[in-house]
């Protein structure tokens, strides 16, 4: 009789490949969701860095004749505050949202070029590290975030630019910006191709969710605007290191050329920073008002109008340099024109909320805060378009107030609205409502304490970027008030990170669709599976997920779009 | 619409993409962005020219002459001609003809290299007359704009060289040859944009001379 012996199957022991380990999986991923999360984490890290820089500035300015920082370090800190917040916080974070949400929203399995997507992310990370590493050498950029040529260039008779500003400060800025530009181009062409070519069947252009619309417009703006910045930076580097004379008046160059090139990037850039936030608000408001968005077509196409107009307004940053009157008239007109499509959006959002069954969850709070704060910032912008008024307040704290109302009150509120809205999808957990409300009210009070009083300070004539001020100009109380407000904002951000960490560890499970939402990203598990959808959905209206949940009253049965 | 388990399916198939491939579109938007860098450099060139203009064209060589036009135009002709073998290479591999693709790539690379050599020859002559990047805004603008284009020709040649090596290894088939297609697109762009550069740098002064 044959005996049967049972042999243990040999266990194949082999080391895991790098991409099978937890860390390696993140390092080597080309999954749009993981890349999106990494973009956001990187953005939030630099948000903290930029925030610390802001608090340093406010501490320095809290009382007259302050000496918290040295004048040299102060210049570096305000330059890096602007640069970090714009290029390393807002842009990567918005790209992160786009990466995570857009393919899910349009029913795709990934971006069109996943590896290019990963390349773009790593480029941002290393450019950010490169830019920030300048602090280690004590040579952080110090020419302001728009790095005007005379500040970074030959001033009188030093022969060439490097001899005049020999330190590496500006080189860090220029090279860092070039790297970030490459990343932005890679990211934006990826968005354009993804959105134009990879939408789910049935999702026509006029059925795309509005966040996708705004991301598409932003991507086009980046494609067309970044080249100006690239060209300007290359010319500056040539001036500094190869002895060219682009920005040197004595040799036939012109420092104004830098301003033209920079702002013909810089003004589309401000819409690059705000349009995705417009998109997020347009997703959040209808869901929490239990209504479809009011005036979808107007919101979408006013975004396109803003995109076009944004290329025609750059010289309103330069009214004080002495352009010919006809040019000033042109740029003042085009700037005022841009208020029209922006106002169209604001009225649409208000009409969306009106008569809806509003539920004031935290994303909705931030969305409402966005409308109010952005409106103030927008009105400031319309005021600054008036040339004589601009002469009066240019380069004062009035301008600082304007840009913080639109970027902090606008974009950052939008980012938080979007983050609280999509966090359950990203993590499968809910954020804590109570902490979110505390953060919202702290931020709303903090922002108005800090930035509203800057209007008055600007009208009283305090220039921006000054190191300190004497105590007999009537600026003392307002400055102190702003410092208090800034620390309130810092506290609010601490509450946010506390909320984020505790919710990740022990938040309530969110389920797939915690907000009873309308768009496709909620029609998958939370967090979404690697391949996003088991089968790619077919879209028949602007609210495809709503249709699936309510087949009897589906939009496509009534609406004509 | 459904995917069979274990059977790989590309995004293009799943989304029932008709027409151009995703890569083609990606290349188009990349080239658009590149073209805008050229647009900005040309704008900077003209801006500086206008700032220095007093009645007529201001950018003159140290000797007081205008730039020589004849040699650059011959060189332009060579560069534009190089688009023909590039198209030939692309069309050949689309029909699966590898030998003709290799010939086309080779022809493009040779013509491109002749153009680059011509540009270097022109630079050497200009250097000899003390016209360098340090010479006023004109020197800076001239060498930056033409040099930036020369850099693009160099990148294009490297691009096509890599395609050539891969072609000789037999990597490309009638269905699978995106690298050649992208290389051809890039090359046409480099040729096309030179028309604008040449018009700005060499032809415009002809119109505006005293």
Is position A237 within any domain?
Answer: yes
Is position A8 within any domain?
Answer: no
CA distance B57 to chain A (A): 14
Give pTM, 2 decimals: 0.92
CB atoms under 10 Å from CB of A372, counted, come to: 14
* Closest listed residue to residue A369, CA positions, set A435, A441, A423, A438: A441
Task: Give me the residue from A189, A192, A257 closest to B44, CB to CB.
Answer: A257
* Overall number of domains in chain A: 1
How large is the greatest C-alpha to C-alpha distance in chain A, in angstroms?
Answer: 110
Residue A60's pLDDT is 94
The whole domain housing A293 covers: 33-530+542-551
| Interchain contact, B144 vs A238, CB within 8 Å | yes
CATH code for the domain in which residue A301 is found: 1.20.210.10
**Active centre residues of A (catalytic):** 81, 110, 145, 183-184, 267, 269, 271, 282, 316-317, 342, 345, 464
What does the pLDDT look like over A1-51, one tens digit per residue?
455 666 666 667 777 788 788 888 889 999 999 999 999 999 999 999 999
CA distance A174 to chain B (A): 16
Residue B2's pLDDT is 42
Is position A440 within any domain?
Answer: yes
What does the pLDDT look like over A484-542, one tens digit per residue?
999 999 999 999 999 999 999 998 998 899 999 999 999 998 899 888 888 888 888 88
Residue B13's pLDDT is 64
* Closest listed residue to residue A200, CA positions, set A422, A526, A524, A514: A524
* Helices A91-105/A413-427 angle, 10° precision: 50
B22-208 CATH fold: 1.20.120
DSSP one-letter string for A284-304: HHHHHHTSPPTTHHHHHHHHH
Residue B143's pLDDT is 94
DSSP one-letter string for B47-91: HHHHHH-BSB-----TTSPPPP-HHHHHHHHHHHHTHHHHHHHHH
Task: Give me the residue from A193, A246, A535 closest to B137, CB to CB.
Answer: A246
Residue B166's pLDDT is 93
Residue A558's pLDDT is 77
Residue A536 CA to residue A539 CA, distance in Å, equals 10
CB atoms under 10 Å from CB of A523, counted, come to: 19
Nearest CA in chain A to B15: A198
pLDDT confidence band for B3 (50 / 70 / 90): very low
Q: What is the dihedral of CA A439, A441, A447, A449, to 10 degrees?
A: -130
Judged by DSSP in three states, A111 sits in coil
Best of B3, B8, B22, B27 to mutate (most A CBs within 10 Å, chain A): B22
Is position A22 within any domain?
Answer: no
Residues of chain A with pLDDT under 70: 1-11, 150-166, 559-561
What does the pLDDT look like over B94-117, one tens digit per residue?
998 889 999 999 999 999 999 999
Residue B186's pLDDT is 96
Length of chain B: 210
CA distance A65 to chain B (A): 43
Is position A11 within any domain?
Answer: no
């Amino acid at each position: 009789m044959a005996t049967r012996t049972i042999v243990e199957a040999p266990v194949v022991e082999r080391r895991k490949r790098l991409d099978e380990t937890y860390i390696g999986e993140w390092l080597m991923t080309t999954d749009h969701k993981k890349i999106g999360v990494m973009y956001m984490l990187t953005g939030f890290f630099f948000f903290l860095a930029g925030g610390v820089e802001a608090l340093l500035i406010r501490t320095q300015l809290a009382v007259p004749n302050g000496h918290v920082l040295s004048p040299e370090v102060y210049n570096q800190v305000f330059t890096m505050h602007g640069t970090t917040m714009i290029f390393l916080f807002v842009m990567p974070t918005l790209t992160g949202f786009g990466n995570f949400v857009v393919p899910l929203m349009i029913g795709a399995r990934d971006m069109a070029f996943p590896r290019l997507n990963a390349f773009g992310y790593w480029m941002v990370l290393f450019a950010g590290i490169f830019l920030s590493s300048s602090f280690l050498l004590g040579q952080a950029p110090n020419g302001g975030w728009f790095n005007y040529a005379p500040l970074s260039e030959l001033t009188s008779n030093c022969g060439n630019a490097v001899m005049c500003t020999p330190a590496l400060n500006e080189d860090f800025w220029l090279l860092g910006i070039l790297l970030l530009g490459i990343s932005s181009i890679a990211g934006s062409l990826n968005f354009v191709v993804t959105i134009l070519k990879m939408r789910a069947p049935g999702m026509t252009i006029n059925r795309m969710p509005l966040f996708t619309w705004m991301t598409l417009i932003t991507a086009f703006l980046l494609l067309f605007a970044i080249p100006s910045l690239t060209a300007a930076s290359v010319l500056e580097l040539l001036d500094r290191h190869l002895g060219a004379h682009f920005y040197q008046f004595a040799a036939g160059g012109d420092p104004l050329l830098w301003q033209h090139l920079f702002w013909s990037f810089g003004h589309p850039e401000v819409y690059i920073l705000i349009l995705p936030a417009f998109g997020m608000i347009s997703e959040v408001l209808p869901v929490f008002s239990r209504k479809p968005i009011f005036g979808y077509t107007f919101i979408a196409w006013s975004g396109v109008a803003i995109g076009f107009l944004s290329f025609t307004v750059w010289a309103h940053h330069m009214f004080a340099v002495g352009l010919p009157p006809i040019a000033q008239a042109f740029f003042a007109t085009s700037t005022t024109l841009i208020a029209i499509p922006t106002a169209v959006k604001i009225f649409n959002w208000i009409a969306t909320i009106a008569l809806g069954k509003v539920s004031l969850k935290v994303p909705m709070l931030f969305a409402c805060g966005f409308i109010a704060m952005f409106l103030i910032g927008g009105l400031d912008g319309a005021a600054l378009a008036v040339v004589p008024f601009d002469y009066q307040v240019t380069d004062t704290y009035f301008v600082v107030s304007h840009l913080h109302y639109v970027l902090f009150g606008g974009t950052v509120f939008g980012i938080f609205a979007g983050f609280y809205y999509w966090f359950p999808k990203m993590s499968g957990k809910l954020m804590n409502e109570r902490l979110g409300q505390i953060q919202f009210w702290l931020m709303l009070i903090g922002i108005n304490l800090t930035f509203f009083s800057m209007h008055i300070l600007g009208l009283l004539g305090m220039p921006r970027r000054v190191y300190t001020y004497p105590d007999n100009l009537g600026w003392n109380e307002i400055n102190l008030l702003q410092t208090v407000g800034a620390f309130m904002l810092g506290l609010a951000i601490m509450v946010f990170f506390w909320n984020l960490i505790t919710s990740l560890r022990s938040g309530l499970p969110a389920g797939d669709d915690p907000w009873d939402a309308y768009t496709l990203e909620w029609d998958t598990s939370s967090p979404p599976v690697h391949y996003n959808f088991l089968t790619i959905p077919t879209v028949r209206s602007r609210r495809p997920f709503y249709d699936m949940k309510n087949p009897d009253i589906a939009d496509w049965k009534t609406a004509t779009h | 619409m459904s995917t069979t388990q274990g059977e790989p399916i590309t995004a293009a198939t799943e989304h029932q993409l008709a027409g151009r491939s995703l890569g083609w579109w990606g290349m188009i938007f990349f080239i658009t962005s590149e073209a805008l860098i050229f647009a900005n450099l040309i704008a900077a060139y003209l801006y500086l020219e206008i700032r220095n203009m007093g009645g007529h064209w201001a950018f003159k060589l140290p000797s007081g002459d205008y730039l020589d036009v004849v040699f650059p135009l011959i060189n332009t002709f060579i560069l534009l001609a190089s688009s023909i073998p590039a198209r030939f290479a692309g069309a050949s591999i689309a029909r699966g003809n590898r030998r003709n693709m290799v010939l086309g790539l080779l022809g493009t690379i040779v013509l491109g290299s002749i153009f680059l050599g011509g540009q270097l020859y022109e630079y050497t002559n200009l250097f000899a007359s003390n016209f360098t990047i340090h010479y006023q805004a004109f020197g800076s603008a001239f060498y930056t704009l033409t040099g930036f284009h020369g850099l693009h020709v160099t990148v294009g040649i490297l691009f096509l060289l890599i395609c050539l090596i891969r072609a000789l290894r037999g990597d490309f088939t009638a269905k699978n040859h995106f690298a050649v297609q992208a290389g051809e697109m890039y090359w046409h762009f480099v040729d096309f944009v030179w028309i604008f550069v040449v018009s700005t740098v060499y032809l415009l002064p002809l119109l505006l001379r005293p």
